[in-house]
Amino acid sequence: MSVSVNEKERIFKLDTPNTSYIIAIMDDPGYAGHVYYGKHISDEDVNYLLRTGESPFVPSGNKRDKISFMDCAPFEYPVHGCGDFREAALKIRTEDGYCTSELYYSGYSISGFTDAPVPGVFGDNGTVLTIELKDKITGLTVELKYIIFEDSDAIVRYSVIHSFTQTLYLERALSASFDMDNEDYELITLNGTWARERYIDRKPIAHGFQGVYSGRGETSHQHHPFMGIVSKDCSQSRGEAYGINLIYSGNFIASVYEGQFDNLRILTGINPEDFEWKLEPGESFATPQAVLVYSSEGLGGMSRSFHDLYREHLIRSPWKDKARPILINNWEATYFDFNEEKLLAIAGEAAKSGIEMLVMDDGWFGNRYDDNRALGDWTVNEEKIKGGLKKLVDGVNALGLKFGIWFEPEMISPDSELYRAHPDWAIAVPGREAALARNQYVLDMSRSDVRDHVFKSLSDILDSANIEYVKWDMNRPLADLASLKLPADRQKELSHRYVLGVYELQDRLIRRYPGLLLENCSGGGARFDPGMLCFSPQIWCSDDTDAIERLKIQEGTALVYPLSTMGAHVSDCPNHTVGRITPFETRGYVALAGTFGYELDITRIPEADRAMIPAQVKMYHMYHELVAAGDYYRLASYSENREYDSWMCIKKDKSEALLTYIQVLGRACVHSRRLKLQGLDPGKIYRIYRFDMESVSELPYGEDKAYHGDSLMNAGINMINLWGDHKGVLLHITELS
């Protein structure tokens, strides 16, 4: 890993272990140009790639046609207004209403990376390159920041924008942008809706705009702040893949624009729609951080770079590397219909099976008997929880289980004590009836008085009993944007201030309760993003707990995020969302590819299922470390082949691997299926065992023999046909010692 600078030629080169990223200052007139990003190269003086000498695009010799140059040069941080008609990374407005700026190189610095304000990456083996650009007319200064770490192939980029002499309005202030040639690339995005989050979409890049955005105040169920730009031949293990992900939890854009010369402009940052930021003289604005990854080893290489960066340099929770307690959540067990007796019965039965924590979900507070009321009234409902919260928690602890609780801190129901006392705390445009969603409004989290109240409500509850886990939910998007505390010329700051307010509150919470296990959630997975991972090591992936639906959701999520971050539970059948019936065993295998827990009424499920839980608990303890810390390799995708799914988690030293195989559809009169393994050491010798749920032990898989890693990867193994649909197999592959 290194940052090298050729001062004479004004070229900056970032080298990660396997990639290079090159920026050069154009001789005349001093714009920052994007030269190269891709597989590691040895030379730095490749600024000929900028093509600034090609007629007629020569600014010095062709001033009469500056626009021809501006509209095609490969910029590193393009600005609006002076002839580049492609989408800009930065657009300002002066008090006079002028929107043009022009950024010229004015210096650079290199320093050791200490820490950046959350949300963002951290670590002590990083280096930061700062390139400073200035607009001569407004005095605006932009610092382009690039962070690299010794142990990572990712490049983290963001910008800090300063206004020194006059008030400026930032109409768009994106995190990262770079221009490159289109080599027949394809675009991958993650899209969906409630209960169908992060399905993978792939399509050719064509001229014009393509991309995704959120305007919902959260990253959203519908789109995701990730973009893959991949070569046509890119598969899991081959081809080129660029991955761009934004460490942010609110409105974002991720877009690619193919212009007139078949060149691409790649951009990501805060969505400029509903955004503006006023910079008074002397003030600065830091954009969210964007993570860039390049892999010449296909999508798998890209995913592993993201996973490693997030495990080592993003997730701060002390729970990051620890086994998470196996929890049982009462949401799908009881919904709102529970009391302390019911919860203790679930906890009692759970304890017998080896489950380690009870989580009391929505419905324990105020007069919350359904989802129409009481959000904001965070005092325990003693009609449901007789004797109070402490008595219940003590009772659960006495059974040997930890206790966790659900909150939806950012919300307020119109039918609540809180709303009756503070109607002005809800986000709404004065004089207009604000739109309801799930019969609730959103609290104005940009206000410190509101946040202080919410923090006190939460900490009063957390101080009142031995609560070791919090599920922080958020069940509606933002609309009717207005804050009573902001002046007219700052109203468009609300969405971003809201996100910063949520971050501040979560940060305060985990500082006050350092051992707390926080799980974020947003009506399922509407705020599954790297911003939230800075505060919680795990996020609820989706409200769809059906094992087969989860294959697609978890595959899309794992394209970017480590398996240890994905909240995944075994739930009851027929599944509450899709009505599908899958074997209990298979539900366990799919949940094992996440945090692993239960979401069912353990006192009422079939005896045979209940009897399997102790074996599944043991399975989790046997393999969770491999799943959480291992390298992830996807062998087959049910979304693509419609028949089966398979992935591997491989210990970093390649001495052990866990292979999960899910046969979604049974087949008639066919051979077994050949499966080629990935990621093993070709020279190592392995044995293969199958986890046997009945005996809760490992039995040899197929012939009891030794295999070389290269045989397993190049020739493969036979996956026997299983009898029926929705069946699964777990294979433990261990090095012969």
For ligand DGJ, give the closer residue by CB, 406 or 633. 406
For residue 18, give the amino acid letter: N
d(CA 394, CA 400): 10
Angle at 320 between CA 659 and CA 176, to 5 degrees: 95
Strands (E), 464-565: 469-472, 517-520, 538-540
CB atoms within 10 A of CB 24: 28
Q: Which H/E stretch holds residue 496?
A: helix 494-512
CA distance 492 to 192: 27
Q: Give 714's DSSP letter.
A: I
By C-alpha distance, which of 531, 138, 509, 510 is closest to 310? 531
CA distances from 615 to 399, 413, 516, 612, 728 (A): 20, 42, 28, 5, 15
308, 361, 410, 656: residue in contact with ligand DGJ (rule CB under 6 A): 361
CB of 362 to ligand DGJ, least distance (A): 3
Give the nearest distance from C-beta 570 to ligand DGJ in angstroms.
14
Cβ atoms of 73 and 58 within 8 Å: the answer is no
Q: Is 304 helix (H, G, I), strand (E, B) or coil?
A: helix
* Residue 378 in the binding site for ligand DGJ (CB under 6 A): no
Q: What span, in angstroms and rounded, lies between the C-alpha atoms of 718 and 701?
A: 10
- Please say which residue, 194 or 689, places its beta carbon nearer to ligand DGJ: 194
Is position 45 annotated as part of the catalytic site? no
Residues 663-722 that bind ligand DGJ (CB under 6 A): none
- Closest to ligand DGJ by CB, 510 or 521: 521
Q: Least distance in Å: CB of 543 to ligand DGJ?
A: 5
Closer by beta carbon to ligand DGJ, 438 or else 676: 438
Using CB under 6 A as the criterion, what x/- string covers residues 562-601 for binding ligand DGJ? ----------------------------------------
Q: Running DSSP on this structure, what letter comes out for residue 713?
A: I
Residues 1-20 binding ligand DGJ (CB under 6 A) are: none
Tell which residue, 66, 374, 501, 687, has the closest CA to residue 384: 374
The whole-angstrom separation of Cα 561 and Cα 564 is 8
- Site mask for ligand DGJ (CB under 6 A), range 419-458, x = bound: ----------------------------------------
Residues 6+ apart with CB under 8 A from 557: 190, 197, 198, 525, 528, 541, 566
Nearer to ligand DGJ, 13 or 550 (CB): 550
∠ CA(530), CA(518), CA(471), 5° rounding?
Answer: 105
- Torsion sign (Cα): 337, 341, 347, 352: negative
Q: Which is nearer to ligand DGJ, 197 or 555 (CB)?
A: 197
Chosen residue from 57, 306, 540, 620 binding ligand DGJ by CB under 6 A: 540
Catalytic residue among 362, 473, 529, 572: 473
Terminal alpha carbon distance of the chain:
34
Whichever of 143 and 543 has its CB closer to ligand DGJ, that residue is: 543
What type of residue is 672? S
Integer CA distances (angstroms), 177 to 15, 215, 331, 398, in order: 18, 20, 42, 55
Piece of the chain touching ligand DGJ by CB under 6 A; list 287-295, 482-490, 521-529, 671-679: 521-529
Does 362 sit near ligand DGJ (CB under 6 A)? yes
Residues in contact with 374: Cβ distance below 8 Å, sequence separation at least 6, in sequence order:
365, 366, 367, 368, 413, 415, 416
- Residue 309 or 380 having the CB closest to ligand DGJ: 380
- Which amino acid type is present at position 453? H
Q: What span, in angstroms and rounded, lies between the C-alpha atoms of 269 and 283? A: 20
- Smallest distance from the beta carbon of 411 to ligand DGJ, in angstroms? 10
473 labelled catalytic: yes
Rounded Cα distance, 498 and 410, in Å = 10
Active-site option among 153, 543, 609, 631? 543
* Among the residue ranges 166-174, 274-282, 517-525, 664-672, the one whose residues contact ligand DGJ (CB under 6 A): 517-525
Kind of pairing, strands 597-599 and 569-571?
Answer: parallel
528 or 589: CB nearest ligand DGJ: 528
* Closer to ligand DGJ by Cβ: residue 543 or 656: 543
Would you state the structure tokens that stand for residue 563, as one six-digit string?
A: 């398996």
| Number of residues engaging ligand DGJ in binding (CB under 6 A) | 11
The CB-of-462 to ligand DGJ minimum distance in angstroms stands at: 18
Tell me the one-letter amino acid at 262. D
Locate 516 and state its tokens.
Answer: 């707390």
- Least Å from the CB of residue 221 to ligand DGJ: 11
Q: Is 375 helix (H, G, I), strand (E, B) or coil?
A: coil
CB nearer to ligand DGJ: pick between 21 and 331: 331
Q: Using alpha carbons, list the distances in angstroms from residue 127 to 6, 77, 114, 425, 675.
A: 17, 20, 9, 42, 41
521 binds ligand DGJ (CB under 6 A): yes
**Which secondary-structure segment (H or E) carries 406?**
strand 402-407
Angle between helices 547-558 and 584-592 (to 10 degrees): 10
Per-residue contact string for residues 474-493; x = within reach of ligand DGJ by CB under 6 A: -x------------------
Q: Does 192 bind ligand DGJ (CB under 6 A)?
A: no
Question: In this structure, are residues 262 and 243 in contact, taking their beta carbons and an 8 Å threshold?
Answer: no
- For position 543 contacting ligand DGJ by CB under 6 A, the verdict is yes
CB nearer to ligand DGJ: pick between 289 and 329? 329
Specify the stretch interacting with ligand DGJ by CB under 6 A; choose among 254-262, 349-357, 502-510, 520-528: 520-528
Helix 340-353 crosses helix 607-629 at what angle (to 10 degrees)? 70
Taking CB atoms, the residue at the shortest distance from ligand DGJ is 362
Tokens 């290269």: give the residue.
710
Strand pairing category for 154-162 and 289-295: antiparallel
| x-or-dash string of contact with ligand DGJ, 383-412, rule CB under 6 A | -----------------------x------
| Shortest distance (Å) from residue 359 CB to ligand DGJ | 9
Hunting for tokens 């293969």 — which residue is that? Answer: 688
| Binder among 59, 228, 523, 556 for ligand DGJ (CB under 6 A) | 523
Residues of span 311-350 touching ligand DGJ by CB under 6 A: 331
- In the complex with ligand DGJ, the residue whose CB is nearer, 473 or 546, is 473
CB of 87 to ligand DGJ, least distance (A): 34
Q: Smallest distance from the beta carbon of 335 to ligand DGJ, in angstroms?
A: 8
Element (H, E) at 90: strand 90-94
- The stretch among 10-18, 261-269, 516-524, 664-672 that binds ligand DGJ (CB under 6 A) is 516-524
Strands, E, within 163-225: which ranges? 168-181, 186-191, 199-204, 208-213
Binding site for ligand DGJ (CB under 6 A): 331, 361-362, 406, 473, 475, 521, 523-524, 540, 543
Annotated catalytic residues are 473, 543
